[in-house]
Amino acid sequence: MCVDFVRTGAGKGAVAAVLAAFALAGAGCEERSALKRPAHGAGGGGETEVILCDGSTPGAVAAAATGQVLADSLMDQWKRAHPERDWVEVEKEQHELKPPADNSALLKGGQGPEHPYGRVTKQELLLWARETEKFVVEGSRIFHSAELLGSTVAVSCDMCHPHAANTHPETYPKYQTQLGRAVLLRDMIEWCIENPVRGAHLSGDDPRMRALEAYIIAQRSGTVMVYGKH
Ligand code: HEC
């Protein structure tokens, strides 16, 4: 079992509190919780030591930080520790959600009404597009809302992943060092919910988890799938 601790620089640098046991199935003890636990006794001033999102690099944030300030501070430190990672994968994307695939070709030619599987109507295409978009928009809403994520530190996903940047759904399943095993996209979403976001645990079949997954995958539309890629 791994122990996650937080030290406060406001004191004498001593371990202030062992705040939580962080056990990950199959993970070694180097796999520690990534981020800040509430700093008991830090009194609003001083700094809280944290383990960054790679699960190993130590860092420090202002004990009172929450929300964007906290997210920015964590990301800055993570970027400095990983200069080789191009986190800011030039954000050319618009804030608008990507539209679902255009299926209008199904109404023509071999896939048209004469085709054995081709009895597709315009209404059906509209229904497919509308329902799919609704699913994705719901995910976007949750992704952008610290409240809906149940964050205790006012952090939402977009603070570090604007427009779902650097979520790489097309690389799953893959081995994740933080978890010490090969995982699905939802396992990494859950990891970020529990760690940087400090939100409520979501099971794999929770409607919010399904919507988050839908949104993240939708934003990478057109990307080639290469599972296992780092
Ligand atoms: C404080 C910044 C921060 C916040 C907030 C955050 N993440 Fe992350 N996330 C990271 C970092 C850093 C990594 C990369 C960890 C690594 O690769 O070592 C990461 C990795 C991921 C990955 C895996 C990316 C890959 O390349 O495989 C996914 C998926 C993800 N985050 C989703 C989310 C979701 C969903 C939320 C909101 C619930 C969220 N993150 C909130 C910083 C953050």
Q: What is the dihedral of CA 186, 166, 65, 95, to 10 degrees?
A: -100
Q: Give the pLDDT confidence of 128-152 residue by residue, as tens digits.
A: 998 999 999 999 999 999 999 999 9
Does residue 54 register a pLDDT over 90?
Answer: no
Q: Quote the strand ranges of the chain, DSSP E.
A: 3-7, 15-21, 47-51, 58-62, 174-176, 181-183
Which of these, 152, 159, 177, lies nearest to 36 by C-alpha position? 152
| Cα 68 to averaged position of ligand 1 atoms, centre (Å) | 15
Domains of the chain: 3-81 (no CATH), 104-219 (1.10.760.10)
Give residues with Cβ within 8 angstroms of 159, minimum separation 6. Answer: 67, 68, 71, 72, 75
Q: Give the pLDDT confidence of 55-96 residue by residue, as tens digits.
A: 777 888 888 888 888 888 888 887 777 776 654 443 334 456
User: Which atom of ligand 1 has the smallest separation from the CA of 212?
Assistant: 35
Report the nearest-CA residue for atom 41 of ligand 1. 157
| Cα 11 to averaged position of ligand 1 atoms, centre (Å) | 31
Pocket perturbation via mutation, ligand 1, pick of 138, 188, 226 by most ligand atoms within 8 A of CB:
188
